[in-house]
Amino acid sequence: MNQIALPFAWPAGEDERDFIVTAANRLVVRHLEHWSLWPVMASVLVGPRKSGRSLLGRIFAAKTGATLIDNADAHDEEALFHAWNAAQASHVPLLLIAESTPAAWGIRLPDLRSRLLATPTVAIEEPDDELAARLIEKLLIARGLMPAPEVLRYLSPRIERSYLAIHRTVEAMDELSLERRQRITVPVARDVLAGLGGEFL
């Protein structure tokens, strides 16, 4: 699975082609591909906001018939407990998605806590250089901005390596381009990074 496009909700893609796979998330994808080998019929998927964790979960559920619970850390504990047990009985995988690992959820139900602490947890990392560059390009194109190669070469080494930062930068570039009524150029990108507090201009 080389491309299961990831990221953000502009627009929200549900297709495997909408998920970009690089070193930042390859181990997660591999874990989901081999769900039949899980030690229990459940896993927890964690990752930063805007990392594509929910999209990846929906793709996994569509391909396998898995039960998917997003924002699991805010879900009713009794319901999580019964969903975990049902997955073991039915051999239908359960995927819980959250921003942090179960150890940080403050679980009060002892039986649920013990089950989740014994459940495999996989994490999407912050974007590596390859993923950052491909996300920037993809998000700009999705907004109809069609960045020139020199703009991408300028942005890639300078943008903060986080999904939220990439999202904010692309949104700001879109707004500034509309405000100035001009296409995306290196000066526009430079002004956006300066406005966002970019370190390397």
Read off the pLDDT of residues 74-118 as tens digits, 9 standing for 90 and up: 999 999 999 999 999 999 999 999 999 999 999 999 999 999 999
Read off the pTM.
Answer: 0.81
pLDDT tens digits, 119-140:
999 999 999 989 998 998 888 8
DSSP-based three-state secondary structure for 11 = coil
Pairwise pLDDT comparison (198 vs 173), residue with the higher score: 173
What length is written for the chain? 201
Residue 32 contacts residue 24 (beta carbons within 8 Å): no
pLDDT value at residue 89:
97
pLDDT value at residue 141:
87
CA atoms of 34 and 30, how far apart (whole Å): 6
The domain ranges of the chain are 16-123, 129-195
| Position 156 confidence tier, pLDDT thresholds 50, 70, 90 | confident
CA atoms of 135 and 164, how far apart (whole Å): 11
pLDDT value at residue 198:
53
pLDDT tens digits, 6-61:
333 334 444 566 788 999 999 999 999 999 999 999 999 999 999 999 999 999 99
Is the pLDDT confidence value at 4 over 60?
no
pLDDT value at residue 11:
40
**In the CATH scheme, what is the code of domain 16-123?**
3.40.50.300
CA atoms of 78 and 84, how far apart (whole Å): 10
